C-alpha cells in the first residue's frame, strides 16, 4: 500500500568556505512538505536556494541535518523503509553497461526477470531497438529516456527529479515529459520535481510549491485541479502560471540574509 512521504528539515547548514571563523551558511530552515500517495508535486524557487540539497536529504544521501524524513507513520533513519529513486540532471548511466543492463541493474529477481523487466521498460520509453547499445552510442534525449526507464524499473515509492529536462531542447524535453506522465499514470508513484520552469511545473504537477531564497522554506503552495493535458492558452492555466511567476519573481528579488556565525 502506498504511503505519504514527508520531509521536515528544521535546519541544514554548510560551513562557509570563505569564512575564517567557522561561520556556517544556512541552506534550509523550517521546511516541511508532505507528498501524498501517487501525487505529483513540483518545487520551484530561486537558483541556489537549496532545492538539490533537499533532494539529497530525501534520497538519504545527506544525513547531516536537523529534522526527519517520514514514510507513513515511520521515521526513516536509513531509507530502508521506502524505495527512493533520484533522477539527476545528468543521465548517470554506467558507461560500461548496455542500456538493457543499466536498467536491469535496479530490478530484483532472476537474470531472466531482470532482462524481461529491462526490455519492458525500454519499450515503454521507445528504446526497445537500442537495448544493446552503450551510452556513448546514443543522443542526449535517448540517454534521458533510458534514465527515466531505469528510475521507473526500480518501482520506487517516491521518484525525485532534479531538473532532468534542463539540458534538452524544447521538442525532446516535451517528448520525454509526455512519456513521464504516461509512466506515472501507470505506476502512480509519488513524484517530487525540482524545476525552474514554471510552465513545466504547471503542465506536469498536481501541486506546485514555491520556495524562498536560502535558507530555503516554503513560501507559497498552488493546487492545480485542471485535467491533463493542460493547454497553455487555457484561461485558468494562464492565471495559475502568472500567479506562480509573480511569486517566484518576488522570491528572487528578496535580499538574502547575512551568513551566521557558528557557536
Reported as a single tens digit per residue, the pLDDT across 110-134 is: 999 999 999 999 999 999 999 999 9
Which residues sit opposite 207 in a β-bridge?
41, 223
Kindly report the number of other CB atoms within 10 A of residue 148's CB atom: 23
pLDDT of 200 higher than 50: yes
Residues whose CB falls within 8 Å of the CB of residue 258, separated by 6 or more in sequence, listed in order: none
pLDDT at 259: 44
**pLDDT for 71 beyond 60:** yes
Directed axis angle between helix 170-187 and helix 111-124, to 10°?
130
Other residues' Cβ atoms within 10 Å of the Cβ of residue 29? 19
- As a whole-number percent, the residues of the chain with pLDDT over 70 amount to 91
Instruction: Provide DSSP, 62-117.
Output: ---SEEEEEETTEE-SSSTTS-EEEE-SS----TTS-HHHHHHTT--S-HHHHHHH
Q: What is the pLDDT of residue 104?
A: 98
Whether 74 and 33 have beta carbons less than 8 Å apart is answered as no
Distance CA 213, CA 250 (A): 10
Beta bridge partners of 128: none
Reported confidence tier of residue 187, pLDDT bands at 50, 70, 90: very high
| Position 253 pLDDT exceeds 50 | yes
Does 79 score more than 80 pLDDT?
Answer: no
pLDDT score of 167: 86
pLDDT, tens digit, 9 for 90 and up, residues 2-58: 789 999 999 998 876 665 566 778 899 999 999 999 999 999 999 888 999 999 999
pLDDT score for 246: 96
Find, among 84, 33, 34, the residue nearest to 59 by Cα. 84
Residue with cell 533510458: 146
Whether pLDDT at 260 is above 60: no
Residue 262 is predicted with a pLDDT of 40
DSSP-derived letter for residue 130 is G
Per the prediction, the chain carries an average pLDDT of 91
Which 8-state DSSP code applies to residue 196?
A: S
Which sign does the torsion angle of CA 54, 164, 80, 190 carry? positive
pLDDT of residue 82: 83
Q: Are 27 and 57 in contact (CB under 8 A)?
A: no
User: What sign does the CA torsion over 56, 44, 205, 88 have?
Assistant: negative
Classify residue 101 as exposed, middle or buried by CB count within 10 Å of its CB (0-12, 13-18, 19+).
Answer: middle
Q: Is the pLDDT score of 206 beyond 80? A: yes
pLDDT given at position 31:
96
**Residue 222 scores a pLDDT above 70:** yes
Amino acid at each position: 500500500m502506498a504511503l505519504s512521504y514527508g520531509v521536515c528539515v528544521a535546519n541544514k547548514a554548510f560551513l562557509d568556505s570563505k569564512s575564517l571563523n567557522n561561520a556556517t551558511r544556512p541552506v534550509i530552515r523550517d521546511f516541511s512538505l508532505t507528498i501524498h500517495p501517487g501525487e505529483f508535486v513540483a518545487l520551484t524557487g530561486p537558483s541556489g536556494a537549496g532545492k538539490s540539497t533537499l533532494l539529497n536529504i530525501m534520497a538519504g544521501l545527506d544525513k547531516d541535518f536537523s529534522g526527519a524524513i517520514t514514510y507513513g507513520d515511520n521515521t526513516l533513519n536509513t531509507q530502508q523503509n521506502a524505495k527512493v529513486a533520484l533522477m539527476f540532471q545528468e543521465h548517470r548511466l554506467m558507461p560500461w553497461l548496455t542500456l538493457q543492463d543499466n536498467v536491469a541493474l535496479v530490478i530484483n529477481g532472476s537474470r531472466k526477470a531482470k532482462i524481461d523487466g529491462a526490455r519492458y521498460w525500454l519499450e515503454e520509453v521507445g528504446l526497445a531497438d537500442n537495448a544493446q547499445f552503450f551510452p556513448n552510442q546514443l543522443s542526449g534525449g535517448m540517454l534521458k529516456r533510458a534514465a527515466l526507464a531505469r528510475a521507473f524499473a526500480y518501482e520506487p515509492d517516491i521518484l525525485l527529479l532534479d531538473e532532468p529536462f534542463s539540458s534538452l531542447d524544447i521538442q525532446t524535453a516535451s517528448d520525454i515529459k509526455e512519456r513521464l506522465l504516461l509512466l506515472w499514470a501507470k505506476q502512480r508513484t509519488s513524484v517530487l520535481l525540482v524545476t525552474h520552469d514554471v510552465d513545466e511545473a504547471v503542465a506536469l504537477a498536481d501541486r506546485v510549491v514555491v520556495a524562498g531564497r536560502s535558507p530555503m522554506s516554503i513560501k507559497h503552495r498552488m493546487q492545480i485541479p485542471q485535467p491533463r493535458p493542460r493547454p497553455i492558452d487555457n484561461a485558468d492555466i494562464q492565471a495559475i502560471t502568472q500567479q506562480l511567476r509573480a511569486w517566484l519573481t518576488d522570491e528572487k528579488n528578496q535580499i538574502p540574509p547575512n551568513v551566521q556565525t557558528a557557536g
